Each structure stands twice: as structure tokens, then as C-alpha cells.
Amino acid sequence: MKKAKIRQGQFTVLLREEEDGGYSAQCLELPGAISEGDNRPDALRNIREAIEGYLEAFPEEAKRLKFKKEVVKVTL
């Protein structure tokens, strides 16, 4: 099986300190790329691996990422 080449890029990651300890991380561009870690550096390292793994498993998602995106805050 040929391994997909992952291009470098920037991703938006929601990093959240969890109530029961540790951190969770979710890539906003790739909803299936979710990870966690005991501390902030671990969570960030793990989400990078999750993003790479997601793009290897679903190479068609890399094409979708080329569309224009915008991050907007909404207050309720």
C-alpha cells in the first residue's frame, strides 16, 4: 500500500483543559481528528499525530481543505 504524502499546513486546534485532568484536542478542520494528553505538550503532540493519521486514512480530505475557510466567534 502506498503511503499518502502529507503536505505541511496550518490547522485550527481547540485545546481544552479537562475537569478531571489532562487536555483534550480537536482539529476544527478535520472533525475526526481528536486526541488528548496528560499535559498541554502531550496533547499537542498527539493531535499532530491524529491529524497526520486522519489525512493518511482519508486523503480526499486534503482536497477539501483547499476551500476558503473563516473562523468566526459567535456570542450568545
Query: Per-domain residue ranges for the chain?
Result: 1-76
- pLDDT recorded at residue 54: 93
Task: Look at residue 5 and tell me whether its pLDDT is greater than 60.
Answer: no
Q: What is the pLDDT of residues 16-69, one digit of tens each?
A: 999 999 999 999 989 899 999 999 999 999 999 999 999 999 888 878 877 767
Task: Look at residue 1 and tell me whether its pLDDT is greater than 80.
Answer: no
User: What 3-state DSSP class applies to 26?
Assistant: strand
Q: Which residues contact 28 (CB under 8 A, 6 or more apart)?
A: 11, 12, 13, 14, 71
Task: Look at residue 4 and tell me whether its pLDDT is greater than 50.
Answer: no
Q: Which fold has domain 1-76?
A: Double Stranded RNA Binding Domain (3.30.160)
Task: Look at residue 7 and tell me whether its pLDDT is greater than 50.
Answer: yes
Q: What's the predicted TM-score (pTM) here?
A: 0.77
**Closest residue by Cα to residue 42 from 28, 25, 29:** 25
